[in-house]
Amino acid sequence: MEYFIELLFSGLTRGSIYALIALGYTMVYGIIGLINFAHGEIYMIGAFTAYIIASVLSILGFPALSIIVLAGLAAAIWSSAYGYTIEKVAYKPLRHAPRLSPLISAIGMSIFLQNYVLLAQTSDFLAFPELISDFDFMEPIAHIVGTTDMIIIVTTIVVMLLLTLFIKMTRMGKAMRATSQDRTMAKLIGINVDRVISITFIIGSALAAIGGILIASHIGQINFYIGFIAGIKAFTAAVLGGIGSIPGAVLGGFVLGLTESFATGYVSSDYEDVFAFSLLVLILIFKPSGLLGKQEVQKV
Amino acid sequence: MTPLDKKSNTNNTNNKNFFQETKRSLTVALWFMFLTFPIMVIKVDPLEKTIEMRWENMIMIGLGVFFLSMLGRILMERGETRRKKRALERAQKFSLIQTIQREPKYLYPLAATVLIFALVFPWIFSTYQTNVMTTALMYVVLGLGLNIVVGLAGLLDLGFVAFYAVGAYSYALLNTHFDLGFWIVLPIGAILAAFFGIILGFPVLRLRGDYLAIVTLGFGEIIRLILENWNEFSQGPSGISNIDRPGFFGLDLSLQQSIIYLFYLMILFVLIAIFFVNRLQNSRLGRAWVALREDEIACQAMGIDKTKTKLTAFALGATWAGMIGVIFAAKTTFINPASFTFLESAIILAIVVIGGMGSILGVIVGAFILILLPEYLRALSEYRMLAFGAIMVMVMVFRPQGIISNIRRHTQYAPSSDIDPDPDLAPQIERSEKS
């Protein structure tokens, strides 16, 4: 039973990270209908920025708490800046192009960013500094669920709630929903669609950066290639939940994380990805538009 | 207003324009300096506790971005005025490439020249070059295979490399365990790959667009992960070595001879594939694919069997991948799962899209660009993949429809689509006439 709970929490932790990255995919997809393959790279850049800033600050002798806050802020700011720039450079000129062109542009961007970080920093695995020290009150259950796990799960839930409030309550959120329903119509009623798209990329990138810091401090090491695998997994989570749907991305992330965790725990860690993808195929066979996706009505 | 006044006036606006452009480029340069600051400038070693600030990188980026952005603006301005002129002229005409494609008078002599060049290629260039060229030809066939699925039938397949892996492993395993030769396994590999294509095709029939994309991606990853982890079956990540090269009527060939032999074999394959895909395009099946791509419901209403049409697209696309897989295993004599990653699928897809979807000539051009480019970019050594990614983005930004766009589409919409390719163009022309 204890083993089960341990696996449950490890699954929830993974799921939280997938969900955080999947949100960026799903938001961008909902608004411009593009699979942003460079999104995983944004997450990687977030983790690298956090690593660099945190290391510099700790060498300069800053207190632990301020390091966490400043590194997190820096990662979110720079990731957003990258997301914004990538959209302007690689996707905006292709807004009226054939559907697959932006996809190839995104894949090119992803290759470019990986090699950019590889050349500017290093190809080695870097030890990520331990930002979060273990809480004392977690001591009795530390063997089942660690402090970082708890922080990851709580942070994810808080971020989800904030995002939902933002999209439901604010003017910008309303504009986003309108744009995702019908871009032309949104333009007609005076919504600055370009700005909405930019803000979507910025928010998605900031979420990916948060995911990047959390997972890096959880696993303890990063390299330039982490974005690729995380990106594919998060994309799977987004599709699993129904791409374009925000609660869907969260649910998809958790389902994927739990599946992987239990497959690793009870079957074999070699096949965790096989289980994840098989689950995806199975779910899509029975629900072709994902768990919470809108059933498309096709009109002639 | 005297003519002189007018002149100084335009000069003034020109100057003002130039000033504004410079300012804008400067902003862009500053933005990129900020953007690349943590990753390009700071290099930190937490163990040694050293921080290295590489300010020279920042200066380089600032200058580089500034000049590139200025250059881009100047080129764009020139291109704009030229394009406006040309858009009107071009209305009835086809571009050079399309004329060549349409007129047998030009096409046949050109094709013959290319073929003769290809035939003498191994005797002019080194073995290494021949080997690289063989790889490029293999990707031409892979691209043509994927073109059936993506370009013609409009099914976005991100796991095409799975079929390639099926072909390669079927030869590797049958050769090492049962000692079967290349020519026997070639059709077996093709059939097995087609079979896998149908296995993949069945469950995904109901899915559309990007759902299909992720399931095919997942399928590709599943195949790769199984190959990587099922050690008893595929020897895992260490791969299978000592695979036989293709036989030539039982003769023993030296390494160099067999490379040249494979090169000619690939030329033959490319020719067969081109012939096959070309005939297929205009067949009943090919037209059914295109109809399915354009509108599924209308297509069904016309009495086309959706299931059968989609499955044949998957199966026929996979067949080519399977055959090339067999050739790949025979060429390298060593395979392991690392050759069949998602990046490979992405590159084959990029060949199809960059070349121009649905166009045979486009796929050939795309394959040569994407496969030979990294080879000839070797001079850039470690900047090779960086340049490769950047070029992929740039080709798409400047030619979104691919290098050679499909001829059929143009004849469909012409001439109205050519007169007004850009909705913003018409008012601009009017305005320029008024002033």
Residue B22: which domain range? 18-81
**Mean pLDDT confidence for B336-352:** 87
Q: Which candidate from B36, B204, B297 shows the least CB-CB separation from A300?
A: B297
Residue of A nearest to B384 (CA): A115
B47, B342, B386: residue with CB nearest A232: B342
B61 and B184 housed in the same domain: no
Say if residue B311 is in the same domain as residue B216. Answer: yes
- State the nearest Cα–Cα gap between B48 and chain A, in angstroms: 10
Q: Which of residues 278-337 of B touch A (CB under 8 A)?
A: 295-298, 301
Residue B194 has pLDDT above 90, yes or no: yes
Residue-wise burial string across A153-163, b where 16 or more C-beta atoms lie within 10 A, e elsewhere: bebbeebbeeb
Q: Per-block average pLDDT, block size 10, for chain A (300 residues)?
A: 84 89 88 86 90 87 83 91 91 83 88 89 78 65 73 87 90 90 89 92 91 82 83 86 84 90 82 82 80 65
* B residues 223-252 closer than 8 Å to A (CB): 225-226, 229
pLDDT for B293 beyond 70: yes
pTM tops 0.90, yes or no: no
Both tokens assigned to B71: 């250059």
Residues B72 and B194 in one domain: no
At B230, give phi and psi (nearest 5°): -90, 80
Number of domains present in the structure of chain B: 2
* The predicted structure's pLDDT at residue B41: 83
CA B239 to chain centre: 27
Are residues B103 and B67 part of one domain?
no
- Of A93, A121, A280, which has the smallest distance from its Cβ to B214's Cβ? A280
B275 close to A278: Cβ distance less than 8 angstroms: no
| From the candidate CATH numbers 2.60.120, 1.10.287, 1.10.3470, 2.30.40, the one assigned to the domain spanning A2-130+142-286 | 1.10.3470
CB-facing half-sphere around the CA of B75: CA atoms within 13 A? 7
Residue that wins the pLDDT comparison between B381 and B54:
B54
Between A72 and B100, whose confidence is greater? Answer: A72
B239 or B12, which is more confident?
B239
Mean pLDDT, residues B71-85: 73
Specify if B430 maps to a domain.
no
Confidence at B36, pLDDT banded by 50, 70, 90? confident
Residue B298 falls inside a structural domain? yes
* A193 or B373, which is more confident: A193
Among the partner-chain residues B298, B393, B402, the one whose CB lies closest to the CB of A108 is B393
Indicate the average pLDDT of chain B. Answer: 79
Q: Is the pLDDT of residue B91 over 70?
A: no
Q: Could you give the angle at the alpha carbon of B151 between the alpha carbons of A38 and B204, nearest 5°?
A: 75
Give me the torsion for CA of B18, B22, B28, B29, rounded to 10°.
150
Q: Hey, how many other C-beta atoms are within 10 angstroms of the C-beta on A53?
A: 21
Q: Considering the domain boundaries, does residue B133 fall inside one? A: yes
Distance from CA of A141 to the nearest CA of B (A): 31
* Other residues' Cβ atoms within 10 Å of the Cβ of residue B38: 23
Compute the average pLDDT of residues B205-217. 78
Interface size A-B, in CB pairs within 8 Å, comes to: 178
Task: Clarify whether residues B58 and B167 are in a common domain.
Answer: no
Facing B400 at nearest CB: one of A49, A101, A121: A101
Strand pairing class (B42-45; A221-222) = unpaired
Q: What residue ranges do the domains of chain A occupy?
A: 2-130+142-286
Q: What is the Cα Rg of chain B in Å?
A: 26
Residue that has been written with the tokens 């492993």 in this structure: B169
- Is residue B1 one of the residues assigned to a domain? no
Question: Would B173 be classed as within a structural domain?
Answer: yes
Residue of B nearest to A71 (CA): B38
Distance between A137 CA and the closest CA of chain B, angstroms: 30
Band (pLDDT 50/70/90 cuts) for residue B2 is very low
Bridge partners of B51?
B44
Q: Mind spelling out the 3-state secondary structure of B175-236?
A: HHHHCCCHHHHHHHHHHHHHHHHHHHHCHHHHCCHHHHHHHHHHHHHHHHHHHHHCHHHHCH
Is there a contact between A102 and B396 if contact means CB atoms under 8 Å apart? yes
Residue range B337-365: average pLDDT?
Answer: 86
The reported pLDDT for the residue numbered B423 is 43
**Per-residue model confidence as pLDDT tens digits over B391-420:** 888 888 888 877 776 654 444 444 444 444
A286 to chain B: which residues are within 8 Å by CB? none
Comparing CB atoms, the residue among A93, A100, A273 nearest residue B225 is: A273
- Can you tell me the mean pLDDT for B249-272? 82
Together in a domain, B219 and B327:
yes
Asked if the structure places residue B46 within a domain, the reply is: yes
- Residue B74 and residue B174 in one domain: no
If 0-12 CB within 10 Å is exposed, 13-18 middle and 19+ buried, where does residue B387 land? Answer: middle
Mean pLDDT of B26-31: 87
Residues B367 and B267 in one domain: yes
Whether residue B207 is found in the same domain as residue B169: yes
Contacts of A100 in chain B (CB under 8 A): 150, 156, 349, 353, 357
Task: Tell me: do B72 and B187 sit in the same domain.
Answer: no
Nearest C-alpha of chain B: how many angstroms from A59?
6
Q: Binning pLDDT at 50, 70 and 90, where does residue B13 land?
A: low
Confidence band of B421 (pLDDT split at 50, 70, 90): very low
Lowest mean per-residue pLDDT among A32-36, A64-68, B96-100, B361-365: B96-100
> Residues of A with CB below 8 A from B42's CB?
52, 56
Phi, psi for B295 (deg, rounded to 5): -160, 110
At A129 the three-state DSSP class reads coil
Residue range B355-372: mean pLDDT, rounded = 85
pLDDT bracket for residue B191 (50, 70, 90): very high
B171 and B51 part of one domain: no
Taking residue B27's Cβ as centre, other Cβ atoms within 10 Å add up to 12
Q: Are A178 and A189 in contact (CB under 8 A)?
A: yes
**Does one domain contain both B102 and B74?**
no
Q: Name B338's Cβ contacts closer than 8 Å, sequence gap at least 6.
A: B237, B239
Q: Which chain B residue has its CA at the smallest distance from A244's CA?
A: B210
Give the pLDDT of residue B89: 56
CA distance B154 to chain A (A): 10
| Residue B232 resides in a domain | yes
**Cα–Cα nearest to A28, from A92, A76, A72:** A92
Distance from CA of B220 to the nearest CA of A (A): 10
Peptide bond into A102 cis (omega under 30): no
d(CA A280, CA A271): 14
Please answer yes or no on whether A109 and B389 come within 8 Å at the CB atom: yes
B26 domain residue, yes or no: yes
* Across B4-22, average pLDDT: 66
